[in-house]
């Protein structure tokens, strides 16, 4: 029993339909509980109630990056082992990642307005997210532009590899270009003092919720892609036969 | 001596298998003509043999630097003259100079004309002259006689015969009778790919693409 | 390889080759910007490094689709792929030809445009050097974008979307070097980063571009 068995679309469809309700329920539960808990947290002495947007902003930003990393891994699996489900999963993840990036940017603007007095600042992290968004757009556009699905998977895979390198490069290049306003990392192992435990636990819950939400959407979208390919294949057979 | 050996080859176009179970050998001095209805995969097969796309199944064995491919397009630059076009390809392939090729396809008069001024048939002849300057033994030709008139077809047949006589080989897809009695003919009709059959662990054929894995 | 380079250069300089279009576009950008922001020398001098770099970048982008699209249409790309020259080498040569016909004229003409935009004299050498170091990376990344989108309908627009984000690091370090030069500071640090990016791009991108071309030729 190897993990590669899930590269078989039939097997993937069967397994994903079995776990999908559980993941979806988990996402709803975690997000619901986390957001309500987050909303009930006391106000920050400096930031007031605006701090509560953190429970959307931080998980969305985290997922925006992690989804790209997931796409990179899926693209590598496709390029190396030629598993079609992997390529389709990367395709399915991209719009979710793009939306996460938009959520992070929008909530950031809403949070930034009262805090920094501006909706938008060419701060390195904001800029890096904007660039990441452009990479998502290019990736999605390339998928929709290429007719042959295997060629599209190959080309987007190569683009994802190159794009990853340049996304990281841009991240550090903009650092060089403009020192920012952003606070340091919201959560990290050694910097426990950055975020108070009052906020930390609901934040963890929200992150888990966002992650499960992503898995839910990913499974649904991948299943859709598989069905779409199946429809195309059946149509083609009809035309030929 | 076997120049090109194809075994149990299956080819796919657009992620779908079109022809399968193809096998043949091509020795020095031999020619093989592919026949078959449109869409059977002649072009796909030739591109696979030329190494431009990977086979779905089976093997193509040939020295990679032995094959000269000529497709539907001639690879000519209209801003360059006839001689410049040939000289470029001869340099890239490290083959003989353009002189003999120009003479063989009766292009000598046109050698300093820009390729843009040539008629379709003349362009085609120039595209075929390119094969001579590659200096490669195995020619893989896709509909080489398109837009050639009767006289030019005869000229081309003579070029092929000279190539075979000099120890070369040719694999072509063509519908025109080239008056090459020594050439064998392979009809691709019986090799049309069937439908995938049931999917599942019992499958032995490698799928051409996801579509077949699923349909 | 030399033969391919010479052919591409000859094609670019013959009629219809589009040689000089990039330069004309650069001139137009540098003419339009003062109309947009007003003629005060101080304002222009302050934004000149950025305008010059963005202008060079757009001028470069303009001619990218010619790198592979024409060879794709007339079948030359199929023939090149079966030639003894490795496809990676062909990509590198074609990017070099693009740079010689587009990037190099921009580099050489940039000081003139710098004067148009009141770029301080101290920044001129930095402009020349940073463009000279950075534009090869623009051509090579552009060749990658062109290789991905070759054979696509409306590939040009898509290519801009794919290529421009890749230009960000080059643009940042290139313009920063000029800006530091204009401020009378030492622009060597961004210049070193810029050279690093260019070298890395030249070393790796031919492989990515050739892989994309092989996919598109299938």
Region label for B12, one of left (φ > 0), alpha (ψ between -120 and 50) or beta (otherwise): beta
pLDDT tier at C66, thresholds 50, 70, 90: confident
pLDDT tier at B214, thresholds 50, 70, 90: low
Chain B contact set for C79 (CB, 8 A) = 69, 75, 89, 130
Under 8 Å between Cβ of B61 and B28: no
In a domain, A134, yes or no: yes
- Contact between chains at B15 and A149 (C-beta distance less than 8 A): yes
CA distances from B159 to A231, B100, B171, B182 (A): 49, 11, 14, 14
Helix (H, G, I), strand (E, B) or coil at C218: coil
Size of interface A-B (CB pairs under 8 A): 42
Chain C contact set for A143 (CB, 8 A) = none
In a domain, B109, yes or no: yes
- Contact between chains at C161 and A159 (C-beta distance less than 8 A): no
- Contact between chains at C84 and B51 (C-beta distance less than 8 A): no
Q: Is C212 on the interface with A (CB under 8 A)?
A: yes
pLDDT tier at B100, thresholds 50, 70, 90: confident
CB burial class (10 A; 0-12, 13-18, 19+) of residue B213?
buried
Q: Return contacts of A32-35, CB within 8 angstroms, 24+ apart.
A: A32/A209, A33/A205, A33/A209, A34/A202, A34/A203, A34/A204, A34/A205, A34/A206, A34/A208, A34/A209, A35/A206, A35/A209
Residue of C164, C173, C216 lying closest to A173 (CB–CB): C173
Distance from CA of C97 to the nearest CA of B (A): 15
- Name residue B185's beta-bridge partners: B33
- Chain A residues with CB-CB distance to C under 8 A? 131, 134-135, 137-138, 141-142, 145-146, 148, 151, 154-155, 158-159, 161-163, 166, 169-170, 173-174, 176-177
In a domain, B55, yes or no: yes
- Contact between chains at B79 and C217 (C-beta distance less than 8 A): no
pLDDT tier at C148, thresholds 50, 70, 90: very high
Instruction: Name subunits touching B (3+ CB pairs < 8 A).
Output: A, C
Which of A76, A130, A137, A145 best tests the C interface by mutation, with the highest count of C CBs <10 A?
A145
What is the C-alpha to C-alpha distance for residues A123 and A178, in angstroms, rounded to an integer? 7
In a domain, B124, yes or no: yes
Total number of domains in chain A: 1
Total number of domains in chain C: 1
Total number of domains in chain B: 1
What is the C-alpha to C-alpha distance for residues B124 and B118, in angstroms, rounded to an integer? 9
CB burial class (10 A; 0-12, 13-18, 19+) of residue B127?
buried
Nearest CA in chain C to A166: C166
Under 8 Å between Cβ of B195 and B165: no
Residue of C162, C168, C173 lying closest to A142 (CB–CB): C162
Provide the pLDDT for residue A103.
94
What is the C-alpha to C-alpha distance for residues C64 and B15, in angstroms, rounded to an integer? 29
What is the C-alpha to C-alpha distance for residues A50 and A47, in angstroms, rounded to an integer? 6
What is the C-alpha to C-alpha distance for residues A83 and C97, in angstroms, rounded to an integer? 38
Size of chain B in residues: 215
Which of C5, C73, C83 best tests the B interface by mutation, with the highest count of B CBs <10 A?
C83
Residue B137 has pLDDT above 90, yes or no: no
Q: What is the CATH number of the domain that holds B95?
A: 3.40.50.300
Region label for B87, one of left (φ > 0), alpha (ψ between -120 and 50) or beta (otherwise): alpha
Under 8 Å between Cβ of A68 and A133: no
Instruction: Name subunits touching A (3+ CB pairs < 8 A).
Output: B, C
- Contact between chains at C218 and B91 (C-beta distance less than 8 A): no
pLDDT tier at A97, thresholds 50, 70, 90: very high
Across A147-156, B113-122, C94-103, C203-212, least confident range: B113-122
CB burial class (10 A; 0-12, 13-18, 19+) of residue A42?
exposed
Residue of C2, C78, C80 lying closest to B71 (CB–CB): C78
Residue A219 has pLDDT above 90, yes or no: yes
Instruction: Name subunits touching C (3+ CB pairs < 8 A).
Output: A, B
- Contact between chains at C10 and B71 (C-beta distance less than 8 A): no
> Model confidence over B44-69: pLDDT tens digits?
888 888 888 888 888 888 877 788 88
Residue B210 has pLDDT above 60, yes or no: no
Say how many C-beta atoms besides its own lie within 10 A of residue A189's C-beta: 6
- Contact between chains at A145 and C216 (C-beta distance less than 8 A): no
Across B13-27, C180-194, C201-215, least confident range: B13-27
Provide the pLDDT for residue C131.
93
Nearest CA in chain C to B70: C79
Calculate mean pLDDT across residues B80-89. 85
Residue A22 has pLDDT above 60, yes or no: yes
> Model confidence over A57-70: pLDDT tens digits?
989 999 999 999 99
Query: How confident is the prediction for chain B on average, in pLDDT?
Result: 79
Nearest CA in chain C to B87: C3
Say how many C-beta atoms besides its own lie within 10 A of residue A14's C-beta: 11
Which of A75, A79, A134, A155 best tests the C interface by mutation, with the highest count of C CBs <10 A?
A155
Which of A80, A158, A161 best tests the C interface by mutation, with the highest count of C CBs <10 A?
A158
- Contact between chains at B52 and C3 (C-beta distance less than 8 A): no
Chain B contact set for A86 (CB, 8 A) = none
- Contact between chains at C80 and B52 (C-beta distance less than 8 A): no
In a domain, B182, yes or no: no
In a domain, A7, yes or no: no
Instruction: Give the structural domain span for B119.
Output: 8-20+28-176+206-214
Phi, psi of A123 (to 5 degrees): -80, 145
- Contact between chains at B73 and C4 (C-beta distance less than 8 A): no
Chain A contact set for C164 (CB, 8 A) = 134
CA distances from B79 to A48, B88, B102, B116, C76 (A): 70, 13, 18, 6, 14
Query: How confident is the prediction for chain A on average, in pLDDT?
Result: 84
Instruction: Give the structural domain span for C109.
Output: 2-217
Region label for A48, one of left (φ > 0), alpha (ψ between -120 and 50) or beta (otherwise): left
Residue of C3, C4, C74 lying closest to B73 (CB–CB): C74
> Model confidence over C160-178: pLDDT tens digits?
999 999 999 999 999 989 9
């Amino acid at each position: 029993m190897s993990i590669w068995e899930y590269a078989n679309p039939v097997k993937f469809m069967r397994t994903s339909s079995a776990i999908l309700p559980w993941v979806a329920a988990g996402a709803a539960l975690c997000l619901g509980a986390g957001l309500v808990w987050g909303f009930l947290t006391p106000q920050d002495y400096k930031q007031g109630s605006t701090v509560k947007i953190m429970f959307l902003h931080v998980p969305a930003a985290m997922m925006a990056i992690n989804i790209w990393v997931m796409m990179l891994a899926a693209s590598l699996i496709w390029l190396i082992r030629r598993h079609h489900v992997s390529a389709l999963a990367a395709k399915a993840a991209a719009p979710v990642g793009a939306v996460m990036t938009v959520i992070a940017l929008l909530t950031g603007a809403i949070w930034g307005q009262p805090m920094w007095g501006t909706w938008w600042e060419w701060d390195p992290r904001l800029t890096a997210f904007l660039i990441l968004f452009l990479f998502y757009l290019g990736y999605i556009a390339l998928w929709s532009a290429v007719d042959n699905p295997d060629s599209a998977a190959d080309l987007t895979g190569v683009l994802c590899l190159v794009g990853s390198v340049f996304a990281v490069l841009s991240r550090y290049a903009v650092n060089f270009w403009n020192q920012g306003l952003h606070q340091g990392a919201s959560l990290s192992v050694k910097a426990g003092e950055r975020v108070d435990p009052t906020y930390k636990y609901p934040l963890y819950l929200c992150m888990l919720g966002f992650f499960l939400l992503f898995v839910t959407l990913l499974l649904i979208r991948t299943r859709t892609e598989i069905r779409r390919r199946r429809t195309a294949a059946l149509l083609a057979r009809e035309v030929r036969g | 001596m076997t120049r090109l050996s194809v075994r149990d080859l299956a080819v796919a176009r657009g992620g779908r298998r079109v022809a399968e179970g193809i096998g043949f050998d091509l020795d020095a001095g031999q020619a093989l003509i592919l026949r078959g209805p449109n869409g059977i995969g002649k072009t796909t097969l030739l591109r696979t043999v030329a190494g431009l796309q990977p086979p779905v199944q089976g093997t193509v064995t040939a020295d990679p630097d032995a094959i000269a491919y000529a497709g539907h397009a001639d690879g000519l630059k209209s801003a360059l003259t006839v001689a410049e076009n040939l000289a470029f390809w001869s340099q890239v392939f490290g083959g003989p100079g353009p002189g003999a090729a120009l003479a063989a396809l009766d292009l000598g008069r046109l050698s300093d004309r820009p390729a843009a001024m040539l008629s379709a048939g003349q362009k085609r002849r120039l595209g075929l002259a390119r094969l001579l300057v590659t200096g490669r033994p195995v020619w893989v030709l896709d509909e080489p006689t398109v837009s050639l008139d009767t006289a030019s077809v005869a000229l081309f047949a003579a070029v092929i015969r000279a190539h075979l006589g000099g120890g070369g080989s040719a694999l072509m897809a063509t519908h025109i009778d080239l008056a090459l009695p020594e050439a064998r003919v392979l009809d691709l009709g019986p090799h049309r790919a069937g439908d995938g059959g049931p999917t599942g662990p019992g499958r032995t054929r490698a799928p051409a693409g996801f579509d077949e894995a699923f349909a | 390889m030399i033969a391919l380079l010479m052919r591409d250069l000859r094609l670019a300089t013959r009629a219809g080759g589009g040689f000089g279009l990039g330069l004309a576009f650069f001139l137009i950008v540098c003419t339009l910007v003062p109309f947009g922001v007003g003629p005060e020398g101080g304002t222009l001098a302050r934004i000149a490094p950025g305008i010059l770099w963005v202008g060079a970048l757009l001028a470069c982008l303009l001619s990218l689709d010619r790198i592979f699209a024409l060879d794709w249409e007339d079948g030359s790309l199929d023939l090149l792929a079966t030639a003894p020259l490795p496809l990676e080498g062909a990509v590198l040569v074609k990017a070099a030809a693009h740079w010689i016909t587009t990037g190099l004229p921009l580099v050489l003409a940039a000081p003139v445009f710098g004067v148009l935009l009141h770029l301080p004299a101290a920044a001129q050498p930095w402009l020349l050097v940073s463009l000279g170091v950075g534009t090869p990376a623009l051509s090579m990344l552009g060749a990658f974008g062109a290789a991905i989108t070759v054979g696509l309908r409306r590939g040009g627009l898509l290519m801009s979307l794919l290529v421009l984000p890749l230009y960000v690091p080059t643009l940042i370090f290139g313009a920063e070097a000029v800006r530091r030069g204009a401020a009378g500071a030492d622009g060597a640090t961004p210049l070193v980063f810029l050279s690093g990016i260019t070298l890395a791009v030249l070393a790796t991108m031919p492989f990515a571009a050739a892989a994309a071309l092989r996919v598109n030729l299938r």
